[in-house]
Amino acid sequence: MTRFLDREKARTLRAQGKSYSEIKSTLGVSKGTLSEWLKDMPLAPEQIRRLRDLNPKRIEHFRETMRNKRESRLHTAYERAKRDVGRLSRRDAFIAGLYLYWGEGTKSARGKTEITNTDPYVLVAFLQWLEMLGVSRRGISVRLTLYTDMNVQQETRFWSRMLQVSSKQFRKPHIKRSALVGLSRKSGYGHGTCSVIFDNVPMWEYISMALKRLREMHSRP
């Protein structure tokens, strides 16, 4: 009787478009037995396509293939970019820093040279540029903008390590009245926002005039 019921269940599942493996997993019978019971019930072409497309191994193989293709494209692009960028001369780095400050820096506060960003490497590049201009890291200050659910001491240590500056150079952080929870760390907000500041009127005037020169150069027809 049990054998008969299993056979009927198997045929019902087959009629629903289930594969031998799915039926075997449900009923615990061998594929040989299923072959005998279901030899007159081949799957329709659309059922075969469905099983093929939903097969976990096939899906994972497809994903792995796409990952490999994407990584190959990125590697090729990186090697091309690496060749194009080459080694930066001092002048290259100086001009790059000017454009960085033109795009990201504070320009309206007289005497204040400042960049704010969530990407620590942008700020590292800015500090290296300031050092080219004769500014010591000991002369800058840092201000963090964090969320209420972030650990101030932990984030201060993070930015202090990344920027290679003393925690004593950090001003009182600004705490937003909202939580980090809900924001994607992939968006760049994982460690809050950091401002690197150098208060010096002559330096601000020099950078302002350098940016004026860039504007003049780009205003030419």
Domain boundaries, the chain: 2-80, 90-218
What pTM value is reported for the model?
A: 0.69
Alpha helices in the chain (DSSP H): 2-15, 20-27, 31-37, 45-54, 56-85, 90-104, 120-132, 152-163, 201-218
Residues with Cβ within 8 Å of 107's Cβ and at least 6 positions away in sequence, in order, are 208, 211
pLDDT tens track of the chain, all 221 residues?
A: 557 677 778 788 777 777 777 777 787 788 778 777 767 767 666 666 666 665 666 656 657 778 888 899 999 999 999 999 999 999 999 999 999 999 999 988 899 999 999 999 999 999 999 999 999 999 999 999 999 889 999 999 999 999 999 999 999 999 988 776 665 544 556 899 999 999 999 999 999 999 999 999 998 76
